[in-house]
């Protein structure tokens, strides 16, 4: 498969402050990749290095096989980008802003523009200064979705949108996916990423700490088990692969590491299991575990 | 009364918000005024000098830009101040009031801040009332400094006259504050409230100018500025125009409060029409967009340049006569053999014109960092706009715009001068002197471009350089600075045309500096991080 985006060991320093440290990220044609991390972890910096707005301090950044810094303008022609904080010219109306940005970008679909304005319920006649943050975000989203591009980059696109509008955003992304477009979705809304993305990279303090498909991430992490047994299971709480043990009479709840699942199941069977519920971890659990445990290790 | 609840606390909050900005306005207006009259006794030591000055006011052009001409027959310092200074102090306090009122009322409503405040235990019209009170306080402060300062600044100025002058100033300031208080209720946008109020101030200026030039009282009485001048401070004080001010202020403030009490939050009386849903073809290319964004900036500077040009042309002959009798002015003038005094005067005026044009040019150039920091630069640059191309628009708009300002001013001054002297050659000389300033102005543009590429965070330094050279140009001759200080100034590189002969080499050198700076700026802007 084509690799549209390839970041290899990319670092970025602002003076002495290390914003990115050896970041690797690959996006293949037709994929939707989720980019997870809390505020200040380096998501926006990574994206801006990809767009050639910031110059990398080390490593290699290629988009469409071109250097992100020296060939930025050629790359931009094939990209539609929605920044996290959309600021536009206060004295232009929303409709004017969309036209200006769309025409400057080049490939701009008039028909889609009208449809999107209706779908996102935007009043294009109002001056931009009267728009809320969500409405300004809509301007950038409409422009991006109405532009012909190969790669769509969204930086926290739904942070100002209401749930209804956020669901329309997800619809639009799914339409892009059906057309075979490639998407990078930076977000900290985990449900959104879980629903839309094929693969996920988690960034923390400028380093990528986890990357893979959701299934892979789940395999690597703990499974939530709720069980009821005839006899109490005494051997499990001591095991090193069992976590957060909670017992309530005959009912127990705990997490088990993926590789410890088989022996734990045998123990439960031996204790005369009555009911059993197992659930793979949600992305939120994966995410929180990384942030909590690794933050603890750092100390 | 519940509609006023919280006014006191809101007043204190506003006072705190304004603790820097409002005092800067009030102190600069009053102190600059006192400083500017400080030199009068030295400039016009004898009654004869003063009467000579009074003759100037016979000219319609100066009458329009000064005052009604009270007390010309016995032109005392007091009469001089009332005729020539009142107008400008009054206009300055009026602007202070308009800006302060709008930014504390409609502007906060527009950006949603007042919603938070009005949701608290705050009466319906408390914000309006608090803003009104603060505006009155600021004007009274200016009036107090002026009233108590004047008799100490120039010996012999009467307390009565000072009081009439100060109260007249405060009257104009407060009534235009009340006008903007009313407009802030009427209009849904802060920009429109400021714009309409300023336009009304301009109208008031114009009405009294017509009245003063034509000597028709009816026109003067239509203008609040005329009311203040009609108090005849230092000449023959009259107090009853204060009644006009009081009536107007009460009427406007009451109307504003009535509307505020009745209307919805964030709503206005004048409906804002829906804007255009589509961008025309003029907007959807980069230069078109930037020109659109700068159109008001350019138009307001163009109005200033036109006014300056016309004033230059109108006063040139009379002013030359005046300077002929008045040695102190000579320090300022370009001295050249074989030049008429009017030509020397124009040469000096033209240097000021260059400063004006450079002010516009830098306002355009320094906008770049603001765009970059706000993220508007980012959103443009990712639409496949190369960075040098982005900078090029600012260069084009500042270079052509500043050149146009020189042309506009040059046409105004040249035409009038040519008309007075009945000489097409004179007109052309003056016009050429204006456009000959172009390279000095462009050097500042080049400096801004250079910083934008190499050290964007320090772009505002160009203002410092600009202010330094401008001050040297304005008051350097008086300070008797060493020659080299003046010699490094771009303004000083331009020959003193039309008094001196124009030479190509200085123009070539300045253009080369501009070109090198610009090229380096456009090259290095590709090499750096965006400021985000």
Between B526 and B272, the higher pLDDT residue: B526
| B283 closest CB neighbour out of A54, A100, A123 | A100
- Interface confidence, given as ipTM, is 0.80
Q: Where are the beta strands (DSSP E) in chain A?
A: 3-14, 17-28, 32-36, 58-63, 66-67, 79-82, 151-155, 182-187, 199-204, 207-213, 222-229, 242-248, 251-257, 273-279
Over residues B79-132, the pLDDT tens digits come to 999 998 999 899 999 999 999 999 999 988 877 788 888 888 888 899 999 999
> Which residues neighbour A253 within 8 Å (Cβ) at sequence distance 6 or greater?
A224, A225, A226, A227, A244, A245, A246
Is residue B486 left, alpha or beta, with left meaning phi > 0 and alpha meaning psi from -120 to 50?
alpha
Q: Given B262, B292, B325, which residue is the final one in a domain?
A: B262
Between B64 and B518, the higher pLDDT residue: B518
| A103 closest CB neighbour out of B274, B284, B528 | B284
Inter-helix orientation angle A94-105/A110-119, to 10°: 140
- Beta partners for A68? none
Residue B380 near chain A (CB below 8 Å): yes
Residues of chain A falling short of pLDDT 50: 294-299
Positive or negative torsion for Cα A96, A102, A105, A107: negative
- When pLDDT is averaged across residues B212-237 and rounded to a whole number, the result is 91
pLDDT at B188 over 70: yes
Domain membership flag for residue B274: no
- Which residue stretches of B422-460 are H helix? 424-435, 438-454
Label residue B1 by pLDDT band (50, 70, 90): low
Positive or negative torsion for Cα B274, B277, B282, B287: positive
B256 and B359, same domain (yes or no): no
B86 and B231, same domain (yes or no): yes
Percentage of residues of chain B with pLDDT beyond 70? 94
Using CA atoms, how far apart are residues A293 and A95, in angstroms rounded to an integer?
A: 47
Whether the ω angle into residue B56 lies within 30 degrees of 0, i.e. cis, is no
| A76 closest CB neighbour out of B110, B376, B384 | B384
Chain B residues within an 8 Å CB radius of A88? 376, 379
Burial level of B92, CB count in 10 A (0-12/13-18/19+)?
Answer: buried
Chain B residues within an 8 Å CB radius of A99? 278-279, 283-284
CA nearest to B528 within chain A: A55
Domain membership flag for residue B469: yes
Burial B363-379 (b: 16+ CB within 10 A, else e): bbbbbbbebbbebbbbb
Over residues A214-246, the pLDDT tens digits come to 878 777 677 888 999 888 888 888 888 888 888
Q: How far is A171 from chain B (nearest CA, A)?
A: 24
β-pair type (A3-14, A17-28)? antiparallel
Residue A57 near chain B (CB below 8 Å): no
Six-digit token string for B472: 């040297």
Interchain pair B275, A53: CB under 8 A: no
What is the reported pLDDT for B329? 52
Domain membership flag for residue B270: no
Number of domains, chain B: 2
In this structure, what DSSP letter does residue B3 have?
A: G
Domain membership flag for residue B280: no
Residue B337 near chain A (CB below 8 Å): no
Using CA atoms, how far apart are residues A23 and B383, in angstroms rounded to an integer?
A: 25
Using CA atoms, how far apart are residues A261 and A258, in angstroms rounded to an integer?
A: 6
B347 and B460, same domain (yes or no): yes
Is residue B155 left, alpha or beta, with left meaning phi > 0 and alpha meaning psi from -120 to 50?
beta
Burial level of A174, CB count in 10 A (0-12/13-18/19+)?
Answer: middle
B42 and B148, same domain (yes or no): yes
Six-digit token string for A192: 């959104």
pLDDT at B180 over 90: yes
Chain B residues within an 8 Å CB radius of A92? 279, 283, 292
Six-digit token string for A55: 């110059």
Q: Given B262, B277, B293, which residue is the final one in a domain?
A: B262
What is the reported pLDDT for A298? 35
B211 and B342, same domain (yes or no): no
Six-digit token string for A105: 């970008």
Domain membership flag for residue B109: yes
- Chain A, residues 208-227, CB within 8 A of chain B, namely none
Using CA atoms, how far apart are residues B3 and A283, in angstroms rounded to an integer?
A: 53
Using CA atoms, how far apart are residues B91 and A248, in angstroms rounded to an integer?
A: 80
Between A159 and B477, the higher pLDDT residue: A159
User: Chain centroid to CA A146: how far?
Assistant: 22
- Beta partners for A155? A186
| B275 closest CB neighbour out of A86, A98, A125 | A125
In this structure, what DSSP letter does residue A282 have?
A: P
Using CA atoms, how far apart are residues A190 and A171, in angstroms rounded to an integer?
A: 16
Residue B124: Cβ within 10 Å count: 18
Chain A residues within an 8 Å CB radius of B277? 93, 95, 124-125
CA neighbor of B383 nearest in space, from A125, A53, A36: A53
- Beta partners for A184? A33, A153
Six-digit token string for B180: 């903007």
Residue that is written with structure tokens 């982005």 in the block: B390
Label residue B256 by pLDDT band (50, 70, 90): very high
Between B161 and B278, the higher pLDDT residue: B161
Using CA atoms, how far apart are residues A36 and B132, in angstroms rounded to an integer?
A: 51
- Chain A, residues 102-141, CB within 8 A of chain B, namely 103-106, 123-127, 129-130, 140
Q: How far is A90 from chain B (nearest CA, A)?
A: 10
Over residues A190-219, the pLDDT tens digits come to 888 888 999 999 998 899 988 988 878 777
Q: Given B262, B280, B295, which residue is the final one in a domain?
A: B262
Residue that is written with structure tokens 């300070």 in the block: B479
CA nearest to A12 within chain B: B529
Lowest mean pLDDT among A88-97, B150-159, B415-424: B415-424
User: Highest mean pLDDT: which of B278-282, B370-374, B386-390?
Assistant: B386-390
β-pair type (A79-82, A151-155)? parallel
Using CA atoms, how far apart are residues B95 and B177, in angstroms rounded to an integer?
A: 8
Domain membership flag for residue B49: yes
Phi, psi of A111, deg, nearest 5: -65, -45
B339 and B483, same domain (yes or no): yes
What is the reported pLDDT for B284? 83
What is the reported pLDDT for B320? 66
| B378 closest CB neighbour out of A53, A89, A97 | A53
B99 and B17, same domain (yes or no): yes
Classified as helix, coil or strand, B223 is coil
Over residues B5-45, the pLDDT tens digits come to 889 999 999 999 999 889 989 998 998 899 888 888 888 88
Residue A101 near chain B (CB below 8 Å): yes
B505 and B372, same domain (yes or no): yes
Domains plus CATH for chain A? 3-217 (3.40.50.300), 222-280 (3.30.70)
B88 and B232, same domain (yes or no): yes
User: Chain centroid to CA A161: how far?
Assistant: 16
Inter-helix orientation angle B461-479/B341-374, to 10°: 160
Tell me chain A's radius of gyration from C-alpha atoms. 23
B195 and B325, same domain (yes or no): no
Burial level of B20, CB count in 10 A (0-12/13-18/19+)?
Answer: exposed
What is the reported pLDDT for B485? 76
- B interface mutation test: which of A92, A97, A128 has the most B CBs within 10 A? A92
Residue A297: Cβ within 10 Å count: 7
In this structure, what DSSP letter does residue B532 have?
A: -
What is the reported pLDDT for A58? 93
Domain membership flag for residue B346: yes
Burial level of A17, CB count in 10 A (0-12/13-18/19+)?
Answer: exposed
Residue A93 near chain B (CB below 8 Å): yes
Label residue B392 by pLDDT band (50, 70, 90): very high
Using CA atoms, how far apart are residues B380 and A49, in angstroms rounded to an integer?
A: 16
Residue B113 near chain A (CB below 8 Å): no
Residue A287: Cβ within 10 Å count: 22
DSSP output for B83-101: HHTHHHHHHHHHHHHHHHH
CA neighbor of A222 nearest in space, from A143, A284, A147, A157: A284
Boundaries of domain holding B487: 311-527
Chain B residues within an 8 Å CB radius of A106? 383-384
- Beta partners for A61? A7
Q: First and final CA of chain B: distance in angstroms?
A: 49
Chain pair A-B, CB pairs under 8 angstroms: 101
pLDDT at B326 over 70: no
Six-digit token string for B34: 């006192």
Percentage of residues of chain B with pLDDT beyond 90? 49
Q: How far is A54 from chain B (nearest CA, A)?
A: 4
- Chain B, residues 212-271, CB within 8 A of chain A, namely none
What is the reported pLDDT for A299? 31
Domain membership flag for residue B138: yes
B250 and B326, same domain (yes or no): no
Label residue B304 by pLDDT band (50, 70, 90): confident
- A interface mutation test: which of B275, B390, B529 has the most A CBs within 10 A? B275
- Beta partners for A33? A184, A199
pLDDT at B532 over 80: no
Chain A residues within an 8 Å CB radius of B386? 73
pLDDT at B315 over 80: no
Q: How far is A110 from chain B (nearest CA, A)?
A: 11
What is the reported pLDDT for A296? 41
Question: What average pLDDT does chain B have?
Answer: 88
What is the reported pLDDT for A271? 87
Using CA atoms, how far apart are residues B20 and B9, in angstroms rounded to an integer?
A: 19
Are A102 and A150 in contact by the 8 Å Cβ rule? The answer is: no
Between B270 and A138, the higher pLDDT residue: A138
B253 and B369, same domain (yes or no): no
| A54 closest CB neighbour out of B274, B379, B529 | B529
- A interface mutation test: which of B375, B382, B386, B525 has the most A CBs within 10 A? B382
Residue A157 near chain B (CB below 8 Å): no
Interchain pair B289, A99: CB under 8 A: no
Whether the ω angle into residue B498 lies within 30 degrees of 0, i.e. cis, is yes
Burial level of B273, CB count in 10 A (0-12/13-18/19+)?
Answer: exposed
In this structure, what DSSP letter does residue B382 have?
A: T
What is the reported pLDDT for B82? 92
Chain A residues within an 8 Å CB radius of B381? 53, 76
Question: What average pLDDT does chain A have?
Answer: 88
């Amino acid at each position: 498969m084509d690799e549209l985006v390839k970041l290899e060991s990319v670092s970025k320093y602002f003076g002495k402050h290390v914003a990115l440290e050896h970041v690797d990220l690959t996006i293949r044609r037709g994929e939707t990749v989720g980019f997870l991390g809390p505020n200040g972890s380096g998501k926006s910096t990574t994206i801006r290095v990809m767009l050639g707005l910031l110059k990398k301090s080390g490593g290699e950044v290629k988009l469409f096989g071109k250097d992100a810094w020296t060939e930025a303008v050629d790359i931009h022609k094939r990209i539609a980008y929605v920044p996290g904080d959309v600021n536009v010219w206060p004295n232009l109306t929303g409709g004017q802003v969309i036209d200006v940005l769309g025409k400057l970008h080049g490939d701009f679909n008039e028909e889609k523009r009208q449809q999107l304005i209706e779908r996102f319920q935007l009043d294009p006649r109002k001056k931009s200064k009267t728009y809320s943050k969500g409405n300004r975000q809509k301007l950038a989203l409409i422009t991006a979705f109405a532009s012909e591009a190969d790669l769509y980059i969204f930086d926290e696109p739904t942070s100002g949108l209401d749930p209804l509008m956020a669901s329309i955003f997800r619809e639009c992304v799914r339409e892009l996916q059906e057309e075979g477009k490639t998407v990078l979705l930076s977000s900290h809304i985990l449900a959104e990423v879980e629903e839309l993305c094929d693969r996920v990279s988690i960034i923390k303090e400028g380093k990528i700490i986890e990357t893979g498909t959701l299934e892979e991430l789940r395999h690597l992490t703990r499974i939530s088990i709720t069980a009821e047994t005839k006899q109490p299971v005494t051997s499990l709480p001591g095991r090193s692969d069992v976590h957060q043990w909670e017992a309530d009479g005959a009912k127990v709840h705990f997490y088990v590491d993926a590789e410890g699942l088989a022996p734990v199941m045998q123990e439960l069977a031996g204790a005369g299991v009555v009911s059993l519920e197992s659930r793979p971890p949600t992305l939120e659990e994966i995410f929180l575990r990384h942030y909590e445990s690794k933050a603890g290790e750092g100390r | 009364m519940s509609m006023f609840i919280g006014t006191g606390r809101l007043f204190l909050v506003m006072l705190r918000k304004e603790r820097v900005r409002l005092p800067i306005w009030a102190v600069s207006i009053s102190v600059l005024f006192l400083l500017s009259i400080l030199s009068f006794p030295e400039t016009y030591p004898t009654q004869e000098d003063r009467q000579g000055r009074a003759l100037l006011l016979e000219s319609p052009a100066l009458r329009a830009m000064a005052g009604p001409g009270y007390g010309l027959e016995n032109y005392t310092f007091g009469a001089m101040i009332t005729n020539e200074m009142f107008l400008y102090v009054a206009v300055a306090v009026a602007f202070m009031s308009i800006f302060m009122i709008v930014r504390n009322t409609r502007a906060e409503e527009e950006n949603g801040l007042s919603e938070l405040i009005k949701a608290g235990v705050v009466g319906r019209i408390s914000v309006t009332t608090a803003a009104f009170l603060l505006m009155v306080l600021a004007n009274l402060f200016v009036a107090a400094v002026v009233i108590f300062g004047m008799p100490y600044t120039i010996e012999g100025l009467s307390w009565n006259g000072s009081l009439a002058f100060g109260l007249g100033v405060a009257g104009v300031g407060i009534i235009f504050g009340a006008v903007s208080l009313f407009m802030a209720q009427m209009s849904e946008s802060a920009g429109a409230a400021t714009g309409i109020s300023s336009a009304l101030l301009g109208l008031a200026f114009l009405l009294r100018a017509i009245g003063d030039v034509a000597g028709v009282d009816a026109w003067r009485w239509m203008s609040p500025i005329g009311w203040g001048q009609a108090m005849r401070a230092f000449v023959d004080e009259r107090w009853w125009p204060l009644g006009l001010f009081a009536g107007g202020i009460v009427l406007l403030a009451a109307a504003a409060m009535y509307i505020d009490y009745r209307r919805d939050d964030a709503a206005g009386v004048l409906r804002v029409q829906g804007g255009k849903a589509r961008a025309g073809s003029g907007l959807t290319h980069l230069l078109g967009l930037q020109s659109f964004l700068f159109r008001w900036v350019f138009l307001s500077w163009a109005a200033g340049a036109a006014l300056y040009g016309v004033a230059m042309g109108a006063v040139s002959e009379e002013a030359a006569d005046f300077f002929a009798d008045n040695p102190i002015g000579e320090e300022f003038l370009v001295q050249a053999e074989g030049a008429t005094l009017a030509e020397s005067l124009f040469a000096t005026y033209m240097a000021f014109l260059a400063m004006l044009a450079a002010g516009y040019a830098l306002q355009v150039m320094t906008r770049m960092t603001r765009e970059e920091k706000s993220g508007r630069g980012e959103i443009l640059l990712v639409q496949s706009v190369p960075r040098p191309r982005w900078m090029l628009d600012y260069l084009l708009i500042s270079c052509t715009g500043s050149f146009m300002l020189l042309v506009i001013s040059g046409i105004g001054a040249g035409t009038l001068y040519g008309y007075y002297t009945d000489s097409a050659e004179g007109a052309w000389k003056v016009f050429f002197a204006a456009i000959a300033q172009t390279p000095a102005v462009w050097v500042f543009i080049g400096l801004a471009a250079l910083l934008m590429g190499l050290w964007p965070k320090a772009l505002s330094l160009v203002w410092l350089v600009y202010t330094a050279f401008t001050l040297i140009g304005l008051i350097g001759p008086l300070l008797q600075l060493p020659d080299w200080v003046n010699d490094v100034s771009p303004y000083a590189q331009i020959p003193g045309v039309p008094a001196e002969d124009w030479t190509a080499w200085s123009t070539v050198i300045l253009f080369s500096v501009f070109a090198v700076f610009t090229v380096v700026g456009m090259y290095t802007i590709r090499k750096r991080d965006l400021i985000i």
